[in-house]
């Protein structure tokens, strides 16, 4: 049995269970209570702004299902960031340890039905994804990497849909989000820049910068703008094709090029 609970104890669900221990959505018989809700509730009531926490701490507080591995935890935290939470990791805050996160700011109390409704997830249709991919040439608009590229650590680049102006910022202005605000971002850029970049430059700012271009540079930019992308050279295109080959075939391409150029190094 639960001890007597104060009517003002917001850390507990209607039946007296701590929100981060709830497994079934209140008012239902079997609908699961989401992991992001439990994680947000635990952070809200157990961590102050500036406090840090680790995956081990999450496992101890919420059970192993909430953080089965590092990537599982990162997905849960990314979901919170979409609800106005700011939770940097070592990737964006060098003062943190490898397995450490900081509660920089608290966002929506998504375990509460009324507040969760404000954070309807952005789920683009397959058609919308194709349109944005075509629009941006299937390359991240922030770093320029494509789906066939890899990061410095060897991990494969994964492309996703991001926003020129973050959705949270648009909501605060009661502005509309549409195709013109969507762009391709790789998963790394999508995580690190969503609330850090300023709004895109305005037309007058861009035009002012164009005045510094020479006639030749202006002509080159004109061709890119008309095509809707920066054309890749024949060398770029050949590299994109060759790098997709299997390891032994890539080695044969290297041998062919070395023989052709006389570079035996």
Enter the DSSP assignment of 195. T
Burial of 142 (0-12, 13-18, 19+ CB in 10 A): middle
The secondary element (H helix, E strand) that includes residue 102 is: strand 100-102
Q: Tell me the mean pLDDT in the region 116-126.
A: 69
Place of tokens 């391409």: 253
In this structure, are 23 and 102 located in the same domain? Answer: yes
Neighbour tally for 140: CB within 10 Å: 24
Question: Is residue 184 domain-resident?
Answer: yes
pLDDT number for residue 6? 45
Query: Higher pLDDT residue, 61 or 264?
Result: 61
In this structure, are 23 and 113 located in the same domain? Answer: yes
pLDDT number for residue 225? 82
Query: How confident is the model over 60-119, as pLDDT tens digits?
Result: 888 766 655 556 667 777 788 878 899 988 888 889 988 889 999 999 899 988 787 777
Closest C-alpha to 182, from 167, 171, 192: 167
Query: How confident is the model over 195-232, as pLDDT tens digits?
Result: 444 555 678 878 888 888 899 988 888 988 887 666 76
In this structure, are 142 and 180 located in the same domain? Answer: yes
pLDDT number for residue 45? 94
Closest C-alpha to 171, from 81, 44, 83: 83
In this structure, are 46 and 109 located in the same domain? Answer: yes
pLDDT number for residue 70? 57
HEC string of 44-74 equals: HHHCCCCCEEEHHHHHHHHCHHHCCCHHHHH
pTM for this predicted structure:
0.47
Tokens of 170: 């648009």
Place of tokens 């080159």: 220
Q: What percent of the chain has pLDDT over 90?
A: 12
In this structure, are 111 and 131 located in the same domain? Answer: no
Q: How far apart are alpha carbons 68 and 66 in whole angstroms?
A: 6
In this structure, are 79 and 149 located in the same domain? Answer: no
Question: Is residue 237 domain-resident?
Answer: no
Beta bridge partners of 146: 139
Place of tokens 């061709």: 223
Neighbour tally for 149: CB within 10 Å: 16
Residue-number span of the structural domain to which 42 is assigned: 19-119
Residue 179 has pLDDT above 70, yes or no: yes
* Residue finishing a domain among 87, 119, 151: 119
* Residue finishing a domain among 90, 119, 148: 119
Beta bridge partners of 182: 163
Closest C-alpha to 195, from 116, 76, 105: 105
How many domains does one find in the chain?
2
């Amino acid at each position: 049995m639960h001890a007597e609970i104060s009517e003002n104890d917001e850390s507990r669900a209607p039946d007296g269970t701590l929100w981060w221990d709830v497994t079934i959505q209140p008012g239902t018989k079997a609908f699961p209570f989401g992991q992001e809700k439990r994680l947000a509730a635990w952070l809200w009531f157990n961590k102050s702004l500036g406090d840090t926490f680790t995956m081990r701490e999450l496992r101890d507080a919420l059970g192993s299902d909430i953080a089965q591995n590092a990537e599982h935890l990162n997905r849960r935290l990314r979901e919170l960031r979409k609800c106005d939470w700011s939770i940097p990791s070592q990737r964006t805050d060098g003062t943190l340890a490898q397995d450490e996160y900081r509660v920089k700011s608290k966002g929506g109390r998504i375990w509460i039905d009324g507040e969760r409704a404000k954070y309807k997830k952005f789920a683009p249709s397959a058609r919308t994804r194709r349109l944005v991919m075509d629009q941006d040439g299937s390359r991240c608009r922030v770093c320029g990497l494509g789906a066939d590229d890899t990061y410095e650590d060897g991990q494969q680049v994964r492309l996703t849909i991001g926003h020129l102006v973050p959705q949270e910022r648009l909501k605060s202005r009661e502005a509309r989000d549409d195709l013109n605000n969507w762009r391709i971002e790789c998963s790394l850029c999508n995580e690190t820049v969503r609330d850090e970049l300023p709004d895109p430059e305005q037309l007058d700012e861009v035009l002012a910068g164009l005045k510094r271009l020479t006639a030749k540079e202006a002509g080159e930019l004109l061709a890119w703008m008309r095509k809707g992308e920066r054309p890749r050279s024949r060398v770029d295109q050949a590299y994109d094709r060759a790098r997709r080959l299997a390891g032994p075939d890539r080695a044969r391409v290297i041998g062919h090029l070395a023989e052709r150029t006389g570079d035996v190094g």
